[in-house]
Amino acid sequence: FYIMRFSRLFAFLACVLLAQPAAATMLAGSSTPIASPDETIGFDEVALGGGTTVTDQFASLGITFGAPGVSYATSVSGRPNFSGPAVLKFGGDTVSILFDHDVTDMSAAITANFGTMTVTSLLDGTQVETFPWTFPNNTVSTNQNNFFGFTGSLFDEVRIDLGGSTSIAMDTLSYTKAAIPTPGTLPLLAIGLGAGLLCRRHRR
C-alpha cells in the first residue's frame, strides 16, 4: 500500500517539476522588439540586387524564406524601425519564415499601407499561436508600433498570411534560440523516467 502511495506521489512531483507551462505572448503592434535576442537581421548582412527573390541567402544567420519567397529591397526609407535594406511581399500569398532550430521568441518590424494579415507560429508544421492584424490606412511612415511576433513559446516557423491583397515590408527580424537542456536539468528528466517506470511496474 505504501509503495503504491509513494509511486503516485513520485509521479506527481515529476510532472510538477517537468511540466512548466510557458507564458506565451503575442506581439501585435508592439513599440519594441523582443529583448536580448540571439540574432538580429537587418538584411544588410548579404548584399543582393533590388528585386532579387530571397529564399536561403540568409541561411547562415539561421533563417530561410519558404517558396515563393520575398523580394529584396536595397533601401526602404521613411518607416519607423527600418534602416537600409528590407524584404518585401507584394500582394496576397503567404510569407513563411523558417528557422534552422527551435526558437522561443521572435519579432520583426512589419509595415503596410492597408489591409489585414494573420501571423501564425508553428512547430513541426503544427500551429502554436496565431493572431490577425489590420493595418490602419496610410500610416506606414508614422506608426512606431510595428513590431510583430511571439515570445515565451516554442516554434520553428512563422507564417504571415496576407489575405490575398496586402503587401508588406519587413526589417529588423530578431529571434532567441531555444535553450538546449543542460546537465543540471538531467536529474529532472531522470525523475520523470523513474516515475514512469514505477507506474508501469505497479500496473503490472
pLDDT single digits (tens) 192-202: 555 554 544 55
Q: What integer pLDDT is reported at residue 13 of this predicted model?
A: 38
pLDDT of residue 15: 40
Q: Please give the helix or strand (H or E) that residue 121 lies within, else none.
A: strand 116-123
In which band, very low, low, confident or very high, does the pLDDT at 190 lie, cut at 50, 70 and 90? low
30-34, 115-119, 126-130, 180-184: range with lowest mean pLDDT: 180-184
Hey, which residues does 89 pair with through a beta bridge? 168
Is 70:108 a contact under the CB 8 Å cutoff?
A: no
Mean pLDDT throughout 26-32? 95
Cell numbers found for residue 171: 526589417
For residue 80, pLDDT over 90 is answered with: yes
Per-residue pLDDT band for 3 (boundaries 50, 70, 90) equals: very low
Q: CA nearest 98: which of 119, 118, 122?
A: 122
Confidence class of residue 51 from pLDDT cuts 50, 70 and 90?
Answer: very high
Range of lowest pLDDT (51-60, 77-86, 134-143): 134-143
Distance (Å, whole) CA 14 – CA 8: 10
- Residues sharing a CB contact under 8 Å with residue 81, sequence separation 6 or more, in sequence order: 33, 109, 144, 146, 147, 171, 172
Is the pTM higher than 0.85? The answer reads: no
